[in-house]
């Protein structure tokens, strides 16, 4: 019986130690990442030569709506279809004269390459 009591006490003490760092009144902290350096902006021409699912950042103008969540994006090297979900606008209104950065990944299909946008940044 004495051994069971000792195991129970050890379990209670280790559980208490495991929760010792929990502070319910502190705001949640998000994990950070690398800060500094520069972003690598690629051109539409470069995107069209990339493989599927490669993360990209492009800068230029959204010039036309082409359908449900599909838009025509242009930079100095050409144009490409981009898919931007409604949530990815993040409340921003963009016109064809606005310069934007699009963060997303290449969607390389058999006949057509597009960009699946994760985030729109109005410049």
CATH number of 65's domain: 2.40.50.200
pLDDT digits (tens, 9 = 90+) for 72-123: 999 999 999 999 999 999 999 999 999 999 999 999 988 999 999 999 999 9
Count up the domains in the chain and report the number.
1
Instruction: For residue 55, tell me if it sits in a domain.
Output: yes
Instruction: For residue 93, tell me if it sits in a domain.
Output: yes
Instruction: For residue 72, tell me if it sits in a domain.
Output: yes
pLDDT digits (tens, 9 = 90+) for 26-77: 455 556 666 556 689 999 999 999 999 999 999 999 999 998 999 999 999 9
Residue range(s) defining the domain that contains residue 96: 44-122
Instruction: For residue 32, tell me if it sits in a domain.
Output: no
Compute the distance between CA of residue 44 and CA of residue 115 in angstroms, rounded to an integer. Answer: 10
Of the candidates 88, 92, 90, 94, the one whose C-alpha atom is nearest the C-alpha of residue 65 is 94
Instruction: For residue 111, tell me if it sits in a domain.
Output: yes
């Amino acid at each position: 019986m004495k051994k069971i009591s000792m195991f129970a006490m050890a379990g209670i003490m280790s559980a208490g130690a495991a929760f010792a760092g929990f502070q319910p009144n502190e705001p949640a902290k998000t994990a950070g990442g690398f800060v500094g350096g520069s972003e690598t902006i690629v051109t539409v021409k470069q995107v069209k030569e990339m493989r599927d699912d490669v993360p990209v950042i492009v800068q230029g103008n959204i010039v036309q709506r082409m359908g449900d969540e599909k838009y025509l994006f242009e930079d100095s090297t050409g144009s490409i279809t981009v898919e931007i979900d409604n949530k990815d606008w993040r409340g921003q209104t963009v016109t064809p004269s606005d310069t934007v950065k699009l963060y997303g990944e290449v969607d390389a299909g058999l006949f057509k390459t597009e960009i699946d946008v994760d985030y729109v940044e109005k410049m």
